[in-house]
Structure 1
Amino acid sequence: MDPTENNQSSNFWDIPQAQIEERGSEGTQDPIAEAGEVEAIATAPGDVPAGGPPSSPQSAEGPPSLPTAMGPIAGASFGNPLAGMPDTEFPSQDDGLNGKIIDLVRFLLVKFRRMEITSKEEMILRTMRDYEEHYSVIFSKAAECMKLIFGIDMLEVDPFVHSYFLFPALGITYDGMLHGVVGVPKTGLVIIVLCIIFIEDNCVSEEAFWNVMNALGMYAGVDHFIFGDPRSLITEDFVEEGYVEYRQVPNSLPPRFEFLWGPRAYAETTKMKILEFYASIVRQDPRSYPEKYAEALREEQERI
């Protein structure tokens, strides 16, 4: 399988970090201001500036070529939270609307942290006054942002009042809010890691893995403004939680390491769910990747 033949870059976050910081400093949204840890999304050090990634041992000489199979996802950046989402429903230059999407994402993160249900009425009241007519667009983009970045799904629990409960996506039970940047969900990063491993034939070398992560704006040992140090999260916390296996390649001198799915990943999610998530990022049908789709389908049948 070679997803690069679809050639659809997934730059799904395009609002500058400076604008996120500006929205966070307005001080007009009480529920967001009450949750100080969510401010880390906008203010934690280590953000990747718009001009390029920070210097790091892995990026100083320029990263090697990206693994071919991860081509579509390699164009993404976790530094800008809304890029690549379709802008057909309103002008992309409307900073007011983009700001409202950011406001709603921040509000939903607080609701997730508190395990509280929210409603259309509350979301409009708290985050989008004077923009009520754009509710459907703001809501859909914020919901997509929550899933793609933070790995959080929204379940409509009452269709009459449009109330929603937020929970980790794809069957993952880990939110990671006590690891890395405290109070920020890390489920999305778990899912991305599982995507990379699965697309790379279920076992990816450490070098190839960090090539992809570098292209996503995350560098080993360099704090990311949303997630903190990705190396520590992935090789320590995700391993300890059972989602990732990080092992030395047998008989490798000097020692080389590789990543595989851990037992908890196999227990909680499926290759099909991960493939569908990956396909949603690159805006393709999962069947566009016949080899991986067949593998995922076999696993589904074996679970029956």
Structure 2
Amino acid sequence: MNYAYLNLDNIFLALHELRSLIHGTEKEYYYGVALYDGSEKVAEKSGTIKKSGVVLAMSTDVKDIVDQLRGHCFSVDIDVPMREYKNYAKGVYGEVVSSIKTSKKCDKLDLIVTEGMIIAGKRASEKDTWSLISHSKRPYTQSGSLNPELGRVMVNLSESSQQILDPFVGTGTIMIEGKWLGLNCIGSDIDPSMVYKTLFNLKHFNYDCEILQADATFPPMRETESVVTDPPYGRSFSPKGLSDLYEEFFYSVVELVRGKVVFTTDFKFDWRDALKSSGFKDIQIHTIYEHKSLSRAIYVVTK
């Protein structure tokens, strides 16, 4: 069995990303950590999973943990997602460290103390923060652009194995994350300046995606595995104009997508009725607080 230590700022989104990456569901959940079967290296591809690995021992009694680990060599990290267990965790850490050999050259051992449970696991991967920081420094960006972490999460939520389409490509955040994850990426935008900026940003990272100038309500292809996108929802659109744009977009993509559609919007808008009218049945929504004037809603929908 494997463990995934989750971002506590949005646990439900992190769980959804984990389920998308393992194409299944967790076997057990304790606050901040999910136990699952599948790849032990899910964290390295994720935006909300801090680290993951293989469970070595698990118990409410520290003596059971010590018996399993005694004599082995580890470099130990301890995580306590629930504040009320801080003092208890200090004792757990002391007993475990006194029973093993410790060295920075040895495997990393994660001790996670939560809900009275002690989970000891050998770390296999961590979130790739370096690539996210690098992608945040792309040459072109603009106010309201997705951050790379959220773009990566959205691509993962699509569960794509081959290809994504972004018909509102903007400055290319989703294309960059899709390509980094190894997917074929096709993007379009009605604004030629956005096409130029996306191509420039992709070239900066030596990434290759197909980027076209096209209206999002008339996609430049007949079929795609999934759609991952960040449509406009700013002040430049009247409420009526925004509603028309989204409804036309929903009707256009429902015909061409084989899998999921993942998109963001201002949480103040509710697109569930419009999605159902255009043919989507399964609708999941996550709300992400950005700052005092914007909270985003992430929609994950299927036909």
Q: TM-score range by the shorter chain?
A: under 0.3
Please identify which structure carries the higher strand content. Answer: 2
Larger Rg, first or second structure (1 or 2): 2
TM-score (norm 1): 0.27
More helix by share: 1
Structure possessing the higher relative contact order (Cα contacts under 8 Å, 6 or more residues apart):
1
